[in-house]
Structures are given as structure tokens and as C-alpha cells.
């Protein structure tokens, strides 16, 4: 049995950030679910943006030629722009929460992410064995949808519900209506745009709650 190497690029959410300060969320008076909702938007959003770059690059390779070059250039600008925006507006907004309930949520997020990753390895193997190698990319995308639906249920991010259903049903519709390079291109562009847009929207949410910077002390007149 051969595992498809592209499956490792399917995981859009990762719950761990070793640089966070565990007590900050507690001090802010957030519930564990609310603190993890912020954390998923920030850490998950950064990884969603990274994998959006992969999907858009994959679509560019499938297109090829001048059109592919244009897509990779535009995609690169968009992804870099989203990362710069995230770095600028989300610092300090999503520290790692502490406490028993927060640890329970963290375990749930971790388990769900691992299940999604395993499914992203297994489904491509199944579709290849069934003789449908052009279904590999849709089979990876479809594993992301249930993860986002579970995250919405767990930490209440309503946007993830819409995106989750889109990434669950969308690949099925594409497989039913397309094949070959058209399927690969459409899948890559759709997944990339959806993930990048979801990440950017999460960063925008956090921008509204970013802690105010302390005012600088004015220098004494000489």
C-alpha cells in the first residue's frame, strides 16, 4: 500500500503554541471555550493560510504555462498579505488557556486534528486503489470539513460551520461533475481561496480585541 505524500498537507488546524502564556486568558475573564475559540482562530488561521498556499500552488502546477505563473504570483501576494496582517493584528490575542476544562478542550482539538490527518492519508490510498487517482485532491479536502464542523461545535465559531459544510459537500459535487486536470485545478483553487478567506476572517475577528498598547512616556525636556 502506498501513502500519497500530498495528504500531509491537509491539516488546517494545530492546537499547540509553545510561546503562549497560559494564564493570560484566565486573567482576561474568558471561559475556556471562548479562550480556545480565539486560539483556534489565530493558530489554526496561520496554518490554514499556510495550507491555502499549498492548494493554490497545486492548482498553479495543474494549470501550467503563463496562466499558472500568474496564479502563483497572485496567490503568493495574497498569502503573504494575510500573514503580514495576522502578525500585525493578532499578537497577544490568543494565549494558551489553563485549567481542567481548557485541557479537556485542548485534548478534543488534538484528537480531532489527528483523526483528520489520518483520514487525509487513508482516503487517497482508497481512491487510488479503486482506480480513481484524479480523486486524490478532493479526498484530502473532504477530510477538512468535518474537522471544522467539530471545532465550531466545540469552541463556537459559526463561520466554521458554513466552511465545514462547503468543504464536505464541495468535493463530492466536483467529483460528480469534473475529472482530470479540471478537477485538480478547481479543487486547488477552491480549497485555497476558502482556507485563506477563513484565516483572514479569523484574524479580523481578533484584530477587534487586540490589547491596547501602553502609551509611551514622553521624554523630559532637556
**Nearest by Cα to 148 from 35, 45, 32:** 45
What nine digits make up the cell of 75? 496567490
- What is the predicted pLDDT for the residue at 28? 58
pLDDT band at 212, cuts 50/70/90?
low
Residue 218, classed as helix, strand or coil, is: coil
- What is the predicted pLDDT for the residue at 4? 52
Residue 220, classed as helix, strand or coil, is: coil
Question: How many whole angstroms separate alpha carbon 72 and alpha carbon 95?
Answer: 33
Mean pLDDT of 13-23: 45
Identify the burial level of 11 via C-beta atoms within 10 angstroms of its C-beta, where 0-12 means exposed, 13-18 middle and 19 or more buried: buried
Task: Say if 222 falls within a structural domain.
Answer: no
Total structural domains in the chain?
1
Question: How many whole angstroms separate alpha carbon 118 and alpha carbon 140?
Answer: 10
Task: Say if 136 falls within a structural domain.
Answer: yes
Task: Say if 187 falls within a structural domain.
Answer: yes
Task: Say if 201 falls within a structural domain.
Answer: yes
* pLDDT per residue as tens digits for the range 24-34: 555 457 899 99
Task: Say if 12 falls within a structural domain.
Answer: no
Task: Say if 116 falls within a structural domain.
Answer: yes
Query: Which segment, 10-14, 96-100, 138-142, is predicted with the most confidence on average?
Result: 138-142
Q: What is the pTM of this model?
A: 0.80
Q: Which domain holds residue 138?
A: 22-207
* pLDDT per residue as tens digits for the range 138-191: 999 999 999 999 999 999 999 999 999 999 999 999 999 999 999 999 999 999
- What is the predicted pLDDT for the residue at 1? 47
Task: Say if 43 falls within a structural domain.
Answer: yes
Task: Say if 153 falls within a structural domain.
Answer: yes
With a cut of 90, say whether residue 127 has pLDDT above it. Answer: yes
Amino acid at each position: 500500500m502506498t501513502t500519497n505524500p500530498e495528504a500531509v498537507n491537509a491539516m488546517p488546524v494545530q492546537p499547540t503554541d509553545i510561546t503562549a502564556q497560559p494564564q493570560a486568558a484566565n486573567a482576561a475573564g474568558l471561559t475556556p471555550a471562548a479562550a480556545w475559540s480565539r486560539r483556534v482562530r489565530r493558530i489554526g488561521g496561520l496554518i490554514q493560510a499556510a495550507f491555502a498556499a499549498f492548494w493554490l500552488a497545486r492548482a498553479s502546477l495543474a494549470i501550467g504555462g503563463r496562466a499558472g505563473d500568474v496564479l502563483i504570483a497572485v496567490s503568493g501576494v495574497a498569502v503573504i498579505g494575510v500573514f503580514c496582517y495576522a502578525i500585525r493584528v493578532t499578537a497577544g490575542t490568543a494565549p494558551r488557556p489553563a485549567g481542567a476544562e481548557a485541557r479537556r478542550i485542548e485534548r478534543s482539538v488534538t484528537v480531532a486534528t489527528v483523526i483528520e490527518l489520518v483520514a487525509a492519508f487513508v482516503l487517497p490510498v482508497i481512491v487510488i486503489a479503486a482506480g480513481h487517482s484524479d480523486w486524490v485532491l478532493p479526498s484530502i479536502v473532504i477530510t477538512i470539513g468535518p474537522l471544522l464542523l467539530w471545532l465550531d461545535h466545540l469552541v463556537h465559531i459559526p463561520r466554521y460551520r458554513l466552511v465545514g459544510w462547503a468543504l464536505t459537500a464541495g468535493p463530492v459535487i466536483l467529483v460528480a461533475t469534473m475529472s482530470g486536470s479540471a478537477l485538480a485545478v478547481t479543487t486547488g483553487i477552491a480549497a485555497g481561496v476558502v482556507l485563506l478567506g477563513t484565516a483572514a476572517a479569523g484574524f479580523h475577528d481578533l484584530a477587534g480585541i487586540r490589547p491596547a498598547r501602553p502609551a509611551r512616556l514622553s521624554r523630559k525636556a532637556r
